[in-house]
Chain A
Amino acid sequence: MHWQLVIEDRVSDSYGLAADETMARRVGHSESNPTLRLYTYRNYSALVGRFQNTENELHLDFCRENDVAINRRPTGGGAIIMGEEQLGIALTIPGRSEDTYGRARELMERFAAAVTNGLCAFGISSSFRHKNDLEVNGRKIAGLGIHRDVSGGLLFHASLLVDMNISLMLKVLNTPFEKISDKEIRTVADRIETIRHFTGRQFSVAEVREEMSKAFARTYDVTLHRDAFTAEEVADIARLETEKYQTANWIHQLVSVPDTVGSAKVKTPGGDRKSVV
């Protein structure tokens, strides 16, 4: 079986997201071949999950003042930062051909296995944990998600941390921290892992991408043909970008489900106490 391999770097937030969704739709309609896309966003994009509220999840003023793009993913989960040192892995496959199905969870596990196999090339042993995370010794190194398009096409997406500017991350994401000192940075650093931190080596994104493409070919037993998007695909992506991912209606969409995060602060003789739920 042949899949298309698309490599892109420093894409905009709206283009990156529109391309993922467009390819899921086109592959679902059999208008495009199954596609593995290994790409990076330009520095930086803050991407909330499908149903999160941007105001709750992000420091919007900081983002605006520092040219951090804001957008909403088609996949679920929490807010993330994507840039030139985080590899986006988007696999789009048809959802109606029986031989491409496993159980939904197993499909996700297979996708996770491909990423795990790619990490092995760097001596990193990771495992699929919780809802949709890949972890290394209890630290998150990648977040995963599935989107099922109206066409039946499936988008599997991973954001893989080659490296991460944690100080910036804390300024962009709305975290429980009141201030951002070395202590807070260490606290977050203890919860996430990156390829460069784990290995102590400055692997490039290109090297990681090369190993990931090999790992996906092995895991799915496919041949990858590197290609650029066709003119039709480019036109469809541009259309979705304009109609959806560049609109405030989509980016700042509000949902009625109560916030999952709330906090209260109380001054006590022993100092400020803050509770976050």
Chain B
Amino acid sequence: MIVDSTMENTIDIQKDYKFPTDRRYDAEHHMWAKHINGGVLVGIDSLGLESMGDLAYVVVLPAGSKVKRGQSFGSMEAAKMTGDLYSPVSGTILTVNNEVVSKPSNVNNDNYGQGWLTLIAPDDWQSESSSLIADAQLPAWIEAETERYRRQGWVR
């Protein structure tokens, strides 16, 4: 088991949009990154997921692939659209969550736990993590992003 899905501390601006405080968030692409022993787990945050709708297909680059922060590490088809998945960190893919690839609904059911997408060995976590949203920055960012997504029409 790679994922520690216990999330005692979450920021919950809207009941549907939870943001656990035990990880960091890519402000542009709404992916989360959680540093654990041996790598960085990556998944989709609640706002990003809501904007896509229910996932039908997920494809992630295989283990060993090099990824760069802000660039595609996979793609998806959801109820509302098709599109790419963007990596919050640069590094090498260590593990792909094949359970999610074969059953994408796991992401919708548990996007911060069993719905993680990939585990990446980061090239420079210390530097890149500072560009991700966390801790004291979170509340204001979540509020602004929720409002932005609502205004732009991606979520209700």
- Count of A-B contacts with CB under 8 A? 74
Q: When the two chains form the complex, which single residue of A106, A148, A150 contacts B153, counting CB atoms closer than 8 Å?
A: A106
Q: How far is the CB of B135 from chain A (nearest CB, A)?
A: 27
Contact residues in B for A148 (Cβ distance below 8 Å): 81-83
Q: Does A267 contact B (CB under 8 A)?
A: no
- Residues of chain B lying within 8 A (CB to CB) of residue A256: 59, 98, 101-102
Chain B, range 99-156, C-beta contacts under 8 Å to A:
101-104, 151-156
Tell me the A11-61 residues at the B interface (CB within 8 Å).
49-51
Q: Which residues of B contact A253 (CB under 8 A)?
A: 59
Question: Which A residues are CB-close (under 8 A) to B57?
Answer: 50-51, 76, 255, 257
Interface residue stretch chosen among A97-105, A167-175, A211-219, A223-231: A97-105
Q: How far is the CB of B47 from chain A (nearest CB, A)?
A: 13
> Which B residues lie within 8 Å of A131 (CB)?
79
* CB–CB A147/B80 < 8 A: no
CA distance A105 to B98 in the complex (A): 29
For A98, the chain B residues whose CB sits under 8 A away are 151-152
B153 in contact with A50 (CB, 8 Å): no
B84 at the interface (CB under 8 A from A): yes
Chain B binding site: helix, strand, loop or mixed by DSSP?
mixed
Say yes or no: is A235 at the interface (Cβ < 8 Å to chain B). Answer: no
Query: In this assembly, does A134 line the interface, its C-beta being within 8 Å of a C-beta of chain B?
Result: no
A185 in the interface, Cβ–Cβ < 8 Å?
Answer: no
| Residues B153 and A147 in contact, CB atoms below 8 Å apart | no
State the main secondary structure of chain A at its contact with B.
loop
Inter-subunit contact B153/A107 (CB<8 Å): yes
Q: A74-B82, A148-B83, A256-B101 are in contact. Are A104 and B154 (CB under 8 A)?
A: yes
Residues of B within 8 A of A108 (CB): 80
Evaluate contact between B153 and A101: CB separation under 8 angstroms: yes
- Alpha-carbon distance A76/B77, docked complex (angstroms): 6
Known: A51-B77, A76-B82, A257-B57. A104 touches B153 (CB 8 A): yes
A101 to B104, CA, bound (A): 27
Q: Cβ of B59 and Cβ of A255 under 8 Å apart? A: yes
Kindly identify which residue among B58, B82, B156 contacts A147, using a CB–CB cutoff of 8 Å. B82
Would you call A146 an interface residue if the criterion is a C-beta within 8 Å of the partner chain's C-beta atoms?
Answer: yes
Interface size class of A (residues with CB under 8 A): 20 to 34
Contact assessment for B72 and A50 in the assembled complex, using a CB-CB cutoff below 8 Å: no
**In the bound complex, CA of A145 to CA of B84 (Å):** 15
A149 at the binding interface (Cβ < 8 Å): yes
A92 close to B (CB within 8 Å): no
Closest to B84 in A: A150
Q: Smallest distance from the beta carbon of B34 to chain A beta carbons, Å? A: 24
Does B21 lie at the interface of the complex (its beta carbon under 8 Å from any beta carbon of A)?
A: no
CA A108 – CA B84 in complex, angstroms? Answer: 19
B144 to chain A, nearest CB (A): 14
Answer whether residue B11 sits at the interface, using C-beta atoms and an 8 A cutoff. no
Enumerate chain A residues within 8 angstroms of B58, measured Cβ to Cβ: 257
B102 close to A258 (CB less than 8 A):
yes
Which of B75, B80, B82, B98 makes the CB contact (< 8 A) with A104?
A: B80
Q: Are B77 and A49 in contact (CB under 8 A)?
A: yes
Closest chain A CB from B109 CB (angstroms): 16
Closest residue on chain B to residue A156 by CB atoms: B81
Residues of B within 8 A of A74 (CB): 82
Smallest Cβ-Cβ distance to A102: which chain B residue = B153
Given contacts A147-B83, A148-B81, A149-B84, 6 further A-B contacts (CB under 8 A): A76-B81, A103-B154, A146-B82, A149-B83, A256-B59, A257-B101
Interface residues of B (CB under 8 A from A): 51, 53, 56-59, 72, 75, 77-84, 86, 98, 101-104, 151-156
Q: Could you list 24 examples of A-B contacts with CB < 8 Å?
A: A51-B77, A51-B82, A74-B82, A76-B57, A76-B77, A76-B78, A76-B82, A98-B152, A101-B151, A101-B153, A102-B153, A103-B154, A104-B81, A106-B153, A145-B82, A147-B81, A147-B82, A149-B84, A150-B86, A253-B59, A256-B101, A257-B58, A257-B101, A257-B103
- Among all A-B residue pairs, the 5 with the closest Cβ atoms: A51-B57, A148-B83, A103-B153, A146-B81, A101-B152
